[in-house]
């Protein structure tokens, strides 16, 4: 077990040594941003650590109101719903929209929280091949009854493979089916892709009816909690029809204050996104140069796998000896891990080109 002894950043202290850190999900390192920390500390001093009740009880505070205001501005919507963990977002969507669909079609590599939510709502669940619109079309033909409406659910950006779901192709497949809807788990896309950081739909320029998403405050936004944005009637419906967030405590005060500040920072500082995308594209191109098949999307997750004679677990250990931290995942060890295991590399907006070059160079010497 490793112990992180500083705030996560491009240089992070782990197990008593400072390393070049290419792991985790804090793509802008907002967890350690001085304004974010100050907001969290200030809020705790005023309102304590937590409200000790759900947001449907007395759990709303000036901090949660501020979070909702910042989030609505960030997402450009009338309203938002915030809850204790991004993991709950898929349940909130599938329960809250329960009257709007009859069968669930989920990507095979969907995050655990999608599959848990899908099996919780007592509707047929059909799995289609990862990011495969043609298989989705086939499964819809095979399993959807003529009068039924499907919901397609998937990750926006997959946590380990870093792939982006081909949502425009799904829209195309669904356009013949009356009442079809899509739910995207945007945990890794929130604040990351799309011109304004609003996630996968914005990245593809998709708007309109039937496109729903949930996000997290715990990755790029550096705090903790989940979020769904939309118009007032939709958010009211989700609150009324889903068991979460009624069933759990509101987001803890420091996390809510940190998230509100992080959303403000990301809203005003467009440069952060540019730097993140530039770094991601730069690093991906470097790894393609080493022979890895990697897409050229701005998603800041790089997945190295399936290179002949390379033991990726040994590679991670060797890199760690050289004070570079990346993540190794065995096949089946998490959702969207390639069958034979993989190295997951996170790119941050604040990584320097020297750090990225150093990582690529170290890996090129070891493979």
Does position 111 interact with ligand PLP (CB under 6 A)? The reply is yes
- The 137-156 contact track toward ligand PLP, x by CB under 6 A, reads ------------------x-
Does position 106 interact with ligand PLP (CB under 6 A)? The reply is no
> Reduced to 3 DSSP states, what percent helix, strand and coil does the chain have, rounded to the nearest 5?
40, 15, 45
Does position 202 interact with ligand PLP (CB under 6 A)? The reply is no
Size of the site for ligand PLP (CB under 6 A): 13
Taking the complex as a whole, the smallest distance from the CB of residue 88 to ligand PLP amounts, in Å, to: 7
Does position 261 interact with ligand PLP (CB under 6 A)? The reply is no
Does position 109 interact with ligand PLP (CB under 6 A)? The reply is no
Strands across the sheet with 150-155, in order? 79-83, 226-230, 211-216, 181-185, 150-155, 103-107, 125-128
Stretch that binds ligand PLP, among 63-71, 185-193, 280-288, 301-309 (CB under 6 A): 185-193
With contact defined as beta carbons under 8 Å apart, do 259 and 267 qualify?
A: no
Does position 26 interact with ligand PLP (CB under 6 A)? The reply is no
**Residue number with CB closer to ligand PLP (150 or 218):** 218
Q: What is the DSSP string of 131-198?
A: T-HHHHHHHHHHH--TT--EEEEEESB-TTT-PBP-HHHHHHHHTTSTT-EEEEE-TTTTTTSSTTS-
Contacts of 60 (CB under 8 A, 6+ apart): 51, 250
**Angle of the 312-321 helix axis to the 353-366 helix axis, nearest 10:** 130
With contact defined as beta carbons under 8 Å apart, do 162 and 27 qualify?
A: no
Taking the complex as a whole, the smallest distance from the CB of residue 113 to ligand PLP amounts, in Å, to: 5
Does position 216 interact with ligand PLP (CB under 6 A)? The reply is yes
Residue whose CB is nearest to ligand PLP in the complex, by number: 86
Long-range contacts of 173-177 (CB under 8 A, 24+ apart): 173/133, 173/136, 173/137, 173/140, 174/140, 174/150, 177/140, 177/144, 177/149, 177/150
Does position 159 interact with ligand PLP (CB under 6 A)? The reply is yes
Does position 344 interact with ligand PLP (CB under 6 A)? The reply is no
Taking the complex as a whole, the smallest distance from the CB of residue 154 to ligand PLP amounts, in Å, to: 9
Does position 226 interact with ligand PLP (CB under 6 A)? The reply is yes
Q: Which two tokens stand for residue 112?
A: 């655990």
**Which residues pair with residue 344 across a beta bridge?**
303, 327
- The 283-302 contact track toward ligand PLP, x by CB under 6 A, reads --------------------
Taking the complex as a whole, the smallest distance from the CB of residue 82 to ligand PLP amounts, in Å, to: 11
Taking the complex as a whole, the smallest distance from the CB of residue 142 to ligand PLP amounts, in Å, to: 27
Does position 218 interact with ligand PLP (CB under 6 A)? The reply is yes
Taking the complex as a whole, the smallest distance from the CB of residue 130 to ligand PLP amounts, in Å, to: 13
Q: Which two tokens stand for residue 268?
A: 């005003």
Stretch that binds ligand PLP, among 138-146, 180-188, 195-203, 315-323 (CB under 6 A): 180-188
With contact defined as beta carbons under 8 Å apart, do 157 and 185 qualify?
A: no
Cis peptide, bond prior to residue 245, ω within 30 of zero: yes
Stretch that binds ligand PLP, among 82-90, 131-139, 195-203, 262-270 (CB under 6 A): 82-90
Residue with tokens 């190794």: 328
Residues at the site binding ligand PLP, with contacts judged by CB under 6 A: 85-87, 111, 113, 155, 159, 185, 187-188, 216, 218, 226
């Amino acid at each position: 077990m490793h112990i992180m002894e500083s705030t996560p950043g491009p240089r992070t202290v782990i197990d008593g040594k400072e390393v070049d850190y290419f792991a985790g999900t804090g793509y802008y390192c907002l967890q350690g941003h001085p304004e974010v920390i100050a907001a969290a500390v200030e809020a705790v001093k005023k309102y304590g650590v937590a409200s000790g009740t759900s947001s449907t009880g007395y759990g709303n505070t000036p901090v949660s109101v501020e979070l909702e205001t910042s989030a609505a501005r960030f997402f450009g919507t009338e309203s938002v719903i915030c809850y204790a963990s991004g993991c709950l977002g898929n349940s909130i969507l599938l329960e809250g929209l329960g009257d709007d669909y009859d069968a669930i079609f989920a990507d095979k590599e969907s995050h655990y929280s999608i599959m848990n939510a899908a099996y919780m709502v007592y509707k047929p669940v059909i799995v289609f091949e990862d990011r495969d619109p043609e298989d989705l079309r086939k499964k819809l033909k095979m399993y959807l009854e003529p009068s039924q409406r499907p919901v397609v659910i998937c990750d926006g950006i997959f946590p380990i493979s870093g792939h982006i779901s081909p949502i425009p192709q799904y829209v195309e497949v669904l356009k013949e089916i009356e009442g079809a809807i899509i739910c995207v788990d945007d945990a890794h896309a929130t604040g990351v892709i799309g011109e304004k950081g609003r996630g996968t739909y914005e990245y593809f320029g998709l708007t309109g009816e039937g496109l729903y998403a949930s996000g997290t405050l715990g990755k790029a936004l550096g705090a903790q909690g989940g979020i769904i944005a939309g118009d007032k009637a939709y958010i009211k419906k989700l609150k009324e029809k889903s068991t979460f967030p009624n069933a759990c405590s509101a987001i803890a005060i420091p996390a809510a204050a940190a998230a509100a500040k992080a959303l403000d920072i990301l809203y005003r500082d467009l440069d952060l996104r540019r730097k993140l995308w530039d770094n991601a594209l730069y690093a991906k191109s470097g790894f393609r140069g080493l022979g890895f098949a990697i897409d050229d999307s701005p998603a800041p997750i790089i997945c190295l796998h399936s290179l002949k004679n390379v033991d990726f677990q040994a590679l991670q250990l060797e890199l760690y000896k050289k004070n570079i931290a990346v993540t190794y995942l065995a096949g089946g060890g998490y959702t969207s891990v390639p069958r034979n295991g993989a190295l997951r590399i996170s790119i941050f907006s604040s990584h320097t080109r020297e750090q990225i070059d150093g990582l690529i160079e170290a890996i090129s010497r070891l493979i």
